[in-house]
Amino acid sequence: MVGEFATHPRSSDGIHHRLTRAAGLIPAHLATVRIAAFGPLSDGPWALSTVALRFVRVLILLAIWRTLIPQGTVVSGYGLGSILTYSLVAEVFAAQLNVRTPIATALWDGTIATRFMRPMPVATQYAAEMTGEWALPALLVSAPLLLLAPLLGVDPLPASPARLPLFLASLVLAVAIGLAIDMACTVLIVRIDLGPWVLDAARAVVQAICSGAWVPLALLPFHLGALFDWLPFASAASAPLRIYTGTGDPYRLIALQAAWVVVLVVAVRAAWSASRERVVLYGG
């Protein structure tokens, strides 16, 4: 998205040449996805601890909602059924609704230096790595959660069949916004020389409160949700979940997401182009 081949085109390159070059990069990216997918297995069975944690997290949240919203009542547009589905689907797509590439850590530990030497754009290398890292959690958490949903008393289906394609379109836009936000954070790290964990703290707070990935924004007090709805963080998480559960107008939400994608991609590309020469590495 923000790769060098897009930001620094050589004047002699024609469109055909660029397309051929981009097609040639596909096998390299697929190989990166494959390597990243199997990476967590090298840690042995300990990789499963995060899996267990996610199951515990969703079970706690489902139990909490059952105590707060009695059967048959509707709170700010959410009945018990829709809030349970919301929480379950949020956990199933947790990685896609909170996009993190390894680029910030690589800047900090210095491994990004070797990435600049690979014949692939830096940003898409990390995007491919991130996609690969989704595989194991999808297999061990997302799929079992969807299959076990009826046992947990949750209806895992979308509000209507027509909502499913709209949800998938919205999810793709959410990932694109998440990637742009991740790159924006990387630019900040480069420009103000921050450790990645400094921004991670702020992002964790934003993710917990402003994105709606954990608690639906409509259920926040003081009408905070009405404000957060317009921010890109909500478009990166809350929008697809609201479309899935039938608690939001899909066309308005998707239009807002598309607008954020355009604004963020343009802004982040410009910011990265102006900042990439400032990359300083300390790692070793």
Partner 1 sequence: MAAETMRLFGAGARMNAIRILRTRGQAIAHTLTDFIWHSGAMLAPILVAVRFGHIGSWPVAAVVFMLAYGAAVSSVLDALGDSPWNLSQRIGRGQLDHFLVQPQPLWRTLLTDGFTPFDFWPVLTLGVVLMGWSVGRLHVAVSPGWLGLLGVNLLASIAVKTAFLYAWGCLAFWAPRGAEEVSSAASSLIGEVSFPLDAVPRGLRVVLVSAVPSGLLSWLPARALLHVEGAGALDAWLTPLAAVALGACALVLFRLGLRRYRSTGSSRYSDSGHRRR
Among 35, 60, 157, 266, binds partner 1 (CB under 8 A): 60
SS3 category, 69: coil
Q: State the minimum distance, in angstroms, from the CB of residue 221 to partner 1.
A: 4
CB atoms < 10 A from the CB of 143, how many?
Answer: 12
User: Among 19, 56, 162, 226, which residue sits at the site for partner 1 (rule: CB under 8 A)?
Assistant: 56
Task: State the number of binding residues for partner 1 (CB under 8 A).
Answer: 33
Query: Which residue(s) pair with 79 in the sheet?
Result: 74
* 3-state SS class at 48: helix
Contact between 156 and 86 (Cβ < 8 Å): no
Single out the residue of 50, 147, 249, 266 in contact with partner 1 (rule: CB under 8 A).
Answer: 50
Residue 76 structure tokens: 């700010």
For the chain, strand residue ranges (E) read 74-75, 78-79
Both tokens assigned to 185: 């954070």
Pick the stretch among 98-106, 171-179, 218-226, 264-272 that binds partner 1 (CB under 8 A): 218-226
Identify the residue among 26, 30, 64, 139 touching partner 1 (CB under 8 A): 64
Distance of CA 43 to the CA centre of its chain: 24
Q: Is 188 in the site for partner 1 (CB under 8 A)?
A: no
52 binds partner 1 (CB under 8 A): yes
Residues forming the site for partner 1 (CB under 8 A): 43-44, 46-47, 49-50, 52-53, 56, 59-61, 63-64, 66-68, 194-195, 197-198, 201-202, 204-205, 208-209, 214-215, 219-221, 224
